[in-house]
Structure formats: structure tokens, C-alpha cells
Chain A
Amino acid sequence: MQMTNSTFEFIEQLDCQTDIPSLINSFQSLIGKFGMACFMIGDPTRPKMQRDDRLWATTWPQDWLNHWLSQNYISVDPVINQLLARNEPILWRETRSANDDTGSKIFNEATEFHMTDGFALPIYSRDGFVVGITMGTDHYELGKQDEACLHMASIYFHAKLERLRAESAPKPRGPRLTPRERECLSWVAAGKTDWEISQILSISEQTAHEYVQNALIKLNATTRAQAVAIAIFTKQILA
């Protein structure tokens, strides 16, 4: 019951969490009460993405993390593979197989970092991809109730983490320009006048002027230079 209460306390104080590092601390401190040493949460299903997009938060020892990443274990780690394949909570030890040399190697190496066993959970993400959370320990003794607690805490942790990540992600500013407005503004950025743009694009000078003016209005800019700067900053034209 004490573990349950800790879990509910963790969930209830999530409303007060406003930044990712303290959220991670708070989750780490909760799983610590269950005897777990550290955790990792991420989205392993999109290998083409940058490392940051696949690995959202972790408290793994830095040396192990560096090794794990440099060896590209994200693609071969048996825990992650099983998580994706089975789509249900699993114990690390269930994924050990004598035939899996790479897997055995990873397990042996993890032992050096005091992780002999652990618990991993799949959580559905916003867009239907599986997000996984895995936590390790050198002394696994969780009961069913404990695992249920960690499962629920993980769901709340993950939702909050995604919300904080979305808030901190740079947002496209202001309204979007039409392709024609972008085109004209790109030429403004290249130092062209309305007349020159009209010649390049085979449109009237008046029309070229209107496209640029529209872009200014949309971007809430007072000068052409400012419009160019905003459009570059919001990635609507190339620098």
C-alpha cells in the first residue's frame, strides 16, 4: 500500500511540474522506491530520426549510455525488440536467449553497470507508434502490484513528458505564407526589386509588389528586411 500511495502522490504532484529535468528527477525518485536503479524512455521505432528524437529521457549511467548508443544497441537490444514485438509489459530476463549472441553480450555488459534485470513497458504514442520505457536494477523483486504501480506511473510520466516536450519545441511563428509569397520573398532576400522579381517570375510588377506586401502583413513585419528575417527564422524561406 505504501508503494501505491507513493505512486498516487507522484501522479498528483505532476500538475506542478513545469520543466523536464525536475519531472525526470521526480520519476527517478519514484522508481527508486521500487528498487529500480535507472530508466530510459524513448521511441525506438523511427531509426532514421536523430538521436534526441528517439531517446527522450534517461537516467542511465553516462558511460553505459555512451557505449549503448555508439554500438547502436537501440536496434539490437533484445528488451527493445521484444517490447516492440510483444507490445506488453515484459521482464528483461524473459528476453534472454542462449541463441542470441548480441543480446547476451548486451546483458553481460549491462551487468557491469549494476543492471542485471528490469522491467519494460510499451505505451502508445500520440500517432500510434510505440513508445517504450525500460528500467533496470541489480536486484529485481517487484510483485504484480508494484508492476501495476510502475505501469500507471509510466503512463502519467510519459504523457507529461510529451506535453512538456511539445511546449518546449520551437513553434512555427505566425501564419504560413503561400508558395508564391515565399517565392517572391526569397527574391527579396536575394536583393531583388519588385520589377526584377516581376521579370524573373513573368508576372506584373504590381502583382509582385502585392505578394511581398501580403507577406509583410502576414508576418506582421514593418519592413521587407524584417519580413525576410522572420520568414527565415520560421523556416518558411531558406537563408
Chain B
Amino acid sequence: MVDVVTANNRCNFSESLEAMHRDRKKIFVDGLKWDIPVVDGQYEIDQFDTEDAIYLLDLDAQRKRHLGSVRLLPSTGPHLLGSVFPYLCDKGVPVGDDIWEITRLCTAPAKDVEPRPVRRRIATALCEFGLLYGINKYTCVAHVQWLSSLLAVGWECEPLGEPRQVGDETIGAMSISITPATLQMFRNKTGSRTPVLQLQAIAQAA
């Protein structure tokens, strides 16, 4: 099951979020050598890990262990593409209530975690979340190679501009459309017919 974690129910997930930040440090800082902030020498936390961020956390059955996660930011607020990489978009940064940004997609680096099913669950959860909350497009910043693998998996992707050399890497911006057909495609792969998404705590918006 993939939990939706927002500012309102975060207190129920403090352990899992800590584990997520630890895993993110191992993956993005230690592994991929990204030059991003590290807190207390063990947590990767940046300026976008704010109250506005929503996390989809894939947790084990006891809802303790972090198996994988993704961070979602509204395009209407500060987000990576808009604040750091606007030049990756040839026709301006897409902004709208129905557009959210995907960042820090990862699976736990632990040896006993098989990444494939985790990625599938998170992909399915992204579709479900999108359909549920009226999100038509996700945007993201990624390696060029990644674009082709996303297309291969079956996502409906579209580049937002020419890829650029940033440091040692070539990165580009893209948008991903979410439709009921996208969800169906992932459901067919996993054979599941009911949502993987779950909303645990009460968050009453006034």
C-alpha cells in the first residue's frame, strides 16, 4: 500500500519520513553524487521539503519500513522546475492547479528490497493520486536517458524543451499526462483492481 502523506497527517509517519530522508541521502548524495544539502550528515532534505510537499510513501505491511517514495509539489508554488531549472522549458514553465511536479522518486537501497514491484506500486499510486485530485499532468526534471525508459514503461511523456548540459550531466524537463488509461495500463501489469493508495489520517481543510 502507498500512503499519502501531507502536512496534516505527517505526525503519523515521522519514522517512515526519517527513513525516506536517510534513503534519499544514500541514493542521491552517496550514490548519484548530487550536490544537494545534507542535514545532520544523514538526511537529504532541501528547500522544497515544506508543508506544501505531498509524499507518496510505499511502506511495508506494518507501515514502518520505507520501501520507496516520491515527492509531489504543486506547480503553483515553489518547485524545482520553476525555481531552479526554468530554462529547461522552451515555452515557459507549465503552471496550473492540474499540474504537479514529481521529484525524488526512489526505491530503498536495502539489499532485500526488490525495486521493480516498488516502482510499479508508486507508478500506480501516482496515477491514482492524479485521477483522484484532478491532476492532468506531472512535470519532472530528469536525465535524458530516463525519458526513453519512461516511454518504454508506457507513460505518456512529452519533452518541455531541449535537454541541457548541467555540470556533468545532460538533463531535460518533461511532462507526463495522466488519464484513466494510464492507470489501467499499470493495473494490468500488476493484476490489481483496487487502489494501492491509502489515506490514513484526518486532514480537514477548512
Complex contact flag A–B (Cβ < 8 Å)? no
